């Protein structure tokens, strides 16, 4: 590791190897710069590094984008939608962790190794304090669109693993990729020979210099959404910017209209005869001050005071009328007739909720929770559950990156071994919506119904293996495990001496 980077490196002889736990990028020469899948800024080797600039002018820096998202989250509608999403994604459990590691599909390691991996995952959850702060972590990641943690280890004894995890403000750090270019000797074409990843940390956006941090020392996990033009990582709130601004404008316009059109006001037509303009205006003003009534109750002192000297946008109208027309007249200007209409506000509220993938039924207070059959659950709720599953899948990169670092530092496995098993690692989140549970019960019930219908034909038209694989949908591993459990329970006398298909 170069000496000019702050942090540590685990077993890397070259810095130009990608850090992504699922990356397949190689170091072979190419004329194409690696895709910025993590929203990194690319610079030429030996060049200037700094914050990425949005040339469109909408948002100048990524720190301003994050500040914009955080400001949006303070709006009541956005806050309510974010709360619904985070409550569905992170559920606290009284009997264990909110999320659990699943290694059942991986047969590359023995049970003792799997137990060690499980123990390290529990240690990662402890350092994150995820069982207590998981909701806040997920909410911050969802709003910002990215998350950073500084991985702190003991430099004298790295085998102790991660010692502490400190959250980094997303506005103060930026991922950079330094691209090394050269010329292909055969075609004389400029090609990309390699790339070096690092992070730049600035305490303040105005700082001209920053700290270059080694990629291994930072745990970076993002939303997976990117701007196709700039490559910048986007928050899930990005597509709600326009609907939120429209909703704000409609609400402000509605308040202004109701304040100005709600009361009924009088119109005084004053006969000024043939008075000159200056005398006529003075005469109208005298009458206005004489008949003007503006008594105000002072709640602080309990007194009534006259505020005639202050003008009010809702006061009466005084208009002069020349000689030859009608005499002095008092008319009434009616208030607005459609002050109770809220269709425009409701339209933009629904548009905002659609932009945030929230089911429309959750916007209506009179819709209760449906605990019926899974077939009765609305299509919007089904889409919402799939959206939550995608969010969890992206958030899992936090656990994958920390678990990788922990296992490699403690010598549980090498980096090559980690790459072989990372695709089989799954995480099981606690859920309280009961939708998945209801759906699973219905599937099992339907399978049992079909099983009862074909049971008499087993051995005649259907084999036992066909029934277990195609009707019960059991995998080979599930069949082996189930047979072992049945045999064990049969030897213990817990079940009768019959096979799993009722005697066949």
pLDDT digit string (tens) for 43-73? 555 444 333 333 333 345 778 889 999 999 9
Rounded to the nearest 5 degrees, what angle is found at the Cα of 487, between the Cα atoms of 484 and 491?
140
End residue of a domain, out of 371, 399, 427: 427
The answer to whether 54 touches 60, Cβ cutoff 8 Å, is yes
390 in a domain, yes or no? Answer: yes
Least trusted range by pLDDT, from 211-220, 253-262, 383-392: 253-262
Smallest CA-to-CA distance from 40 within 144, 181, 195 is with 195
Give the strands of the sheet with 190-201, arranged side by side: 41-44, 173-183, 190-201, 211-213
Report which of residues 376 and 72 the model is more confident about: 72
- Same domain, yes or no, for 186 and 60? yes
Give 355-374 pLDDT, tens digit per residue.
998 888 776 655 554 544 55
- Same domain, yes or no, for 211 and 130? yes
- Same domain, yes or no, for 343 and 443? no
- Residues 445, 437: Cα–Cα separation, whole Å: 12
Instruction: Name the percent of the chain lying above pLDDT 70.
Output: 73
Give 22-41 pLDDT, tens digit per residue.
444 445 555 555 555 555 66
Residue 498 banded pLDDT, cuts 50, 70, 90:
low
1 in a domain, yes or no? Answer: no
- Same domain, yes or no, for 321 and 447? no
Give Cβ neighbours of residue 333 (< 8 Å, ≥ 6 apart): 264, 265, 266, 267, 317
Tell me what the mean pLDDT of segment 198-214 comes to: 81
- Strand 218-222 and strand 265-273: the pairing is unpaired
- Same domain, yes or no, for 206 and 313? no
Whether 413 shows a pLDDT value over 60: the answer reads: yes
In this structure, the dihedral spanned by the alpha carbons of residues 271, 276, 278 and 279, taken in order and rounded to 10 degrees, is: -60
Cα dist from 422 to 113, 169, 229, 396, whole Å = 14, 28, 31, 12
Query: Which H or E run includes 2?
Result: none
- Residues 259, 342: Cα–Cα separation, whole Å: 15
23 in a domain, yes or no? Answer: no
Q: Which domain holds residue 415?
A: 41-234+381-427
- Residues 353, 345: Cα–Cα separation, whole Å: 12
- Same domain, yes or no, for 414 and 476? no
283 in a domain, yes or no? Answer: yes
Smallest CA-to-CA distance from 270 within 337, 323, 217, 191 is with 323
Give Cβ neighbours of residue 383 (< 8 Å, ≥ 6 apart): 357, 359
- Residues 112, 241: Cα–Cα separation, whole Å: 50
Split into its structural domains, the chain has a count of: 4
- Same domain, yes or no, for 288 and 390? no
360 in a domain, yes or no? Answer: no
- Strand 162-168 and strand 303-306: the pairing is unpaired
Residue 316 banded pLDDT, cuts 50, 70, 90:
low
The answer to whether 231 touches 25, Cβ cutoff 8 Å, is no
472 in a domain, yes or no? Answer: yes
17 in a domain, yes or no? Answer: no
- Residues 90, 429: Cα–Cα separation, whole Å: 7
Alpha helices, DSSP H, located in 91-178? 111-128, 130-144
- Same domain, yes or no, for 146 and 217? yes
Report which of residues 53 and 477 the model is more confident about: 477
Whether 224 shows a pLDDT value over 80: the answer reads: yes
Cα dist from 106 to 113, 362, 425, 492, whole Å = 11, 40, 8, 29
Smallest CA-to-CA distance from 38 within 389, 390, 411, 401 is with 401
Looking at every residue in the chain, the average pLDDT score rounds to 78
Q: Tell me, what's the pLDDT at 240?
A: 92
- Same domain, yes or no, for 254 and 278? no
- Same domain, yes or no, for 289 and 204? no
- Same domain, yes or no, for 129 and 181? yes
- Same domain, yes or no, for 273 and 303? yes
Report which of residues 415 and 299 the model is more confident about: 415
Which range has the top average pLDDT, 7-11, 70-74, 255-259, 459-463? 70-74
Residue 377 banded pLDDT, cuts 50, 70, 90:
low
Q: How many other CB atoms are found less than 10 A from the CB of residue 484?
A: 10
369 in a domain, yes or no? Answer: no
Whether 397 shows a pLDDT value over 90: the answer reads: yes
């Amino acid at each position: 590791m170069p000496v000019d980077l702050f942090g540590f490196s685990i077993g890397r002889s070259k810095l130009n190897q990608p850090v992504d736990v699922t990356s397949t990028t190689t170091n072979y020469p190419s004329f194409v710069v690696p895709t910025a899948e993590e929203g990194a800024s690319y610079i030429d080797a030996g060049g200037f590094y700094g914050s990425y600039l949005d040339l469109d002018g909408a948002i100048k820096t990524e720190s301003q984008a994050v500040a914009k998202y955080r400001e949006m989250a303070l709006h009541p509608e956005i806050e309510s939608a974010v709360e619904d999403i985070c409550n569905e994604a992170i559920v606290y459990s009284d009997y264990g962790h909110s999320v659990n590691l699943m290694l059942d599909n991986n047969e590359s390691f023995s049970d003792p190794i799997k137990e060690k991996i499980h123990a390290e995952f529990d240690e990662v959850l402890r350092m994150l304090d995820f069982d207590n702060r998981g909701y806040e972590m997920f909410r911050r990641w969802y709003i910002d669109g990215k998350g950073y943690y500084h991985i702190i280890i003991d430099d004298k004894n790295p085998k102790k693993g991660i010692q502490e995890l400190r959250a980094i403000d997303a506005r103060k750090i930026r991922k950079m990729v330094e691209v090394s270019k050269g010329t292909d000797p055969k075609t004389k074409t400029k090609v990309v020979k390699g790339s070096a990843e690092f992070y730049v940390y600035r305490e303040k956006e105005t700082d001209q210099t920053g700290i270059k941090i080694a990629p291994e020392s930072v745990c970076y996990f993002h939303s997976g959404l990117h701007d196709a033009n700039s490559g910048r990582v986007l928050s899930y709130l990005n597509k709600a910017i326009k609907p939120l601004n429209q909703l704000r404008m409609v609400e402000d316009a509605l308040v202004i209209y109701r304040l100005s059109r709600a009361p009924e006001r009088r119109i005084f037509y004053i006969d000024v005869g043939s008075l000159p303009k200056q005398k006529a205006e003075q005469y109208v003003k005298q009458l206005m001050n004489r008949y003007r009534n503006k008594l105000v109750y002072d709640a602080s002192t309990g007194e009534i005071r006259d505020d005639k000297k202050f003008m009010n946008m809702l006061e009466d109208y005084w208009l002069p009328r020349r000689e030859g027309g009608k005499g002095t007249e008092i008319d009434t200007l009616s208030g607005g007739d459609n002050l109770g209409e809220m269709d425009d506000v409701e339209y933009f509220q629904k548009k905002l909720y659609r932009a945030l993938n929230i089911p429309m039924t959750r916007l209506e207070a009179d819709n209760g929770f449906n605990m019926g059959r899974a077939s009765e659950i609305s299509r919007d709720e089904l889409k919402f559950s799939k959206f939550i599953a995608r969010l969890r899948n992206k958030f899992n990169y936090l656990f994958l990156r920390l678990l990788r670092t922990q296992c490699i530092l403690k010598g549980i496995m090498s980096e090559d071994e980690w790459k072989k098993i990372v695709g089989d690692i799954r995480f099981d989140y606690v859920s309280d919506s009961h939708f998945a549970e209801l759906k699973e019960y219905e599937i099992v019930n339907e399978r049992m119904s079909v099983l009862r219908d074909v049971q008499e034909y087993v051995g005649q038209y259907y084999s036992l293996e066909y029934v277990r694989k195609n009707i019960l949908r059991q995998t080979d591993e599930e069949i082996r495990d189930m047979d072992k459990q049945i045999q064990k329970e049969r030897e213990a006398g817990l079940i009768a001496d019959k096979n799993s298909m009722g005697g066949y």
